[in-house]
């Protein structure tokens, strides 16, 4: 099942994507829902961020090639994580499929990171790895847009990762996913620049959920972005980045110049 | 004005503290409110977390003595921040005044950090330092409970700072505050262990708000915890920690042993 959050006629609702149509739901996939008699043309609705998470988890380093390439660029040996230490991103930076990423005037090195986004469906604490996937509602796609100069200069990732609009997510949540069959492909202006097996992670989804819930309660709507592989070219105003995960969909966002005030 | 969020008779509402009474409000301090005819004995209501923030900002290093003492403990020169780089904490860890901090069985070095908590009242982007305090609703108190062994061993602060119940906040939001008059005092089991002028920060509230809103939109209900000074003894099950900021109130929480599942 494919859940989309959308707006039409001033109303925001969840719907189920069926072909080119969206069947509007009363309720939501977290607390319960019913299909309504209303359906819409998918191309005629505004697609929204699939969920605004209570807590937004994000794995920083989870693919060996990404870590080795980043280390080689600064002339250091790769330092592979030995434990699943999750990090955080800010919900304030989320934007939907199709919405523009606004590059601040003083940003000099903006790059994409195409990521699998796990959406939690059930309250969970103390799950074993065998139990872990039982709390997952489904999967979406995230682009963990990053300003590398700020990432290097600042003590934290606050503006490098969480500047307004730097977290595109969508277009929807797919509940029927076989993780090992997923492949991530990123295109800049239609030209493929990155491709990797999505599930080729140092620590997988079940491992992370089990590790997190040893100490922290996950709740419906929480999201976990699983990190990225490979590297990105530097992006510029006018570019469009598509992150495709076969079996889930395509998250596409144009990059524009930020105005000084929002 | 002193805003408390409270529950009574199965209902949660905001109220205005007047002496020993709470005047119940219809609405909230962010979107607008009216006083109702209902009032309650403050001692007869359950005090809740004063706000569940859309985004929870927290300054890691903002007092010179705290940084110098921490550096001396590991035999390194102090590295004072040169720019106001804010970090994040997770709303999932928030608990109210009076609620217990649950120490996991494998935690070995749990400490308090008494902090000023800024509560944002208005949407804000691109504020100068002179404009910055205009978006503040008021101030509360936070205890940035930290597990120092995990803080040292993990790549991120996820469990060291955000384990369930590790973020007590409250008891309320005080809107009438003169920052330079505030003094923070922390007591363990009634004995004072830390005292410092609250506003003796490397970068103040206005500087942080101006820096954040250069890149990120603050929204009503966001909170910024401003860091701490001094050091804490190691806490143990059975301790009670009071964080008092004169002019705001006292945030008091007992420390108990966590159960393995919540």
Mean pLDDT of B49-69: 92
The model's pTM is 0.95
A69 band by pLDDT with thresholds 50, 70 and 90: confident
Give B115-125 pLDDT, tens digit per residue. 999 999 999 99
* pLDDT above 70 coverage of chain A, percent: 99
Residue with the two structure tokens 């434990």: A83
Q: Is the pLDDT of residue B221 over 90?
A: yes
Tell me what pLDDT residue A79 has: 85
A74 band by pLDDT with thresholds 50, 70 and 90: confident
- DSSP labels, B17-84: EETTEEEEEEEETTTEEEEEEEEEEGGGSEE--S---SSEEE-S---HHHHHHHHHHTT------SS-
* pLDDT above 90 coverage of chain B, percent: 89
For residue B196, the SS3 value is strand
Mean pLDDT of B149-178: 97
| A contacts of B90 (beta carbons < 8 Å) | 55, 88, 216
A260 band by pLDDT with thresholds 50, 70 and 90: low
Q: Is the pLDDT of residue A156 over 90?
A: yes
B99 band by pLDDT with thresholds 50, 70 and 90: very high
Tell me what pLDDT residue B260 has: 59
Are β-strands A2-8 and A11-18 bridged in parallel, bridged antiparallel, or unpaired?
antiparallel
Nearest CB to A215 within list B81, B86, B104: B104
Nearest CB to B92 within list A87, A162, A216: A216
Specify which residues B141 forms β-bridges with. B116, B170
Check: complex ipTM more than 0.85:
yes
Interacting residues of A117 by C-beta distance below 8 A, sequence separation 6+: A139, A140, A141, A142, A169, A223, A224, A225, A226
B69 band by pLDDT with thresholds 50, 70 and 90: confident
| A contacts of B60 (beta carbons < 8 Å) | 155-156
* Nearest CA distance, B76 vs chain A (angstrom): 17
Structural domains of chain B ordered from first start? 1-48 (2.30.30.370), 49-257 (3.90.850.10)
Tell me what pLDDT residue B152 has: 93
The average confidence (pLDDT) of chain A is: 96
Q: Is the pLDDT of residue A262 over 60?
A: no
Tell me what pLDDT residue B73 has: 82
Question: Residue A215 and residue B90: Cβ atoms within 8 Å?
Answer: no
Tell me what pLDDT residue A116 has: 98
């Amino acid at each position: 099942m494919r859940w989309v959050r959308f707006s039409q006629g001033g109303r925001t609702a969840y719907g189920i994507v069926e072909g080119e149509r969206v069947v509007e739901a009363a309720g939501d996939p977290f607390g319960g829902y019913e299909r309504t008699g209303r359906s819409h043309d998918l191309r005629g609705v505004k697609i929204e961020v699939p969920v605004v998470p209570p807590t937004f988890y994000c794995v920083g380093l989870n693919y060996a090639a990404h870590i080795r390439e980043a280390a080689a660029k600064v002339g250091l040996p790769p330092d592979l994580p030995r434990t699943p230490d999750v990090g955080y991103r800010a919900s304030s930076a989320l934007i939907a499929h199709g919405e523009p990423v606004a590059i601040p005037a003083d940003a000099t090195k903006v790059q994409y990171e195409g990521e699998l986004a796990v959406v939690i469906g059930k309250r969970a604490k103390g799950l074993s790895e065998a139990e872990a996937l039982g709390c997952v509602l489904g999967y979406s796609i995230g682009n963990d847009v990053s300003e590398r100069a700020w990432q290097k200069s600042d003590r934290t990732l606050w503006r490098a990762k969480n500047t307004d609009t730097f977290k595109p997510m969508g277009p929807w949540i797919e509940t029927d996913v076989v993780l090992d069959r997923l492949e991530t492909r990123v295109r800049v202006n239609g030209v493929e620049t990155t491709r990797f097996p999505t599930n080729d992670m140092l620590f997988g989804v079940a491992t992370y959920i089990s590790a997190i819930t040893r100490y922290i309660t996950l709740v419906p709507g929480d999201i976990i972005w699983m990190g990225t592989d490979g590297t990105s070219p530097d992006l510029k105003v006018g570019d469009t980045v598509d992150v495709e995960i076969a079996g889930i969909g395509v998250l596409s966002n144009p990059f524009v110049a930020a105005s000084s005030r929002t």
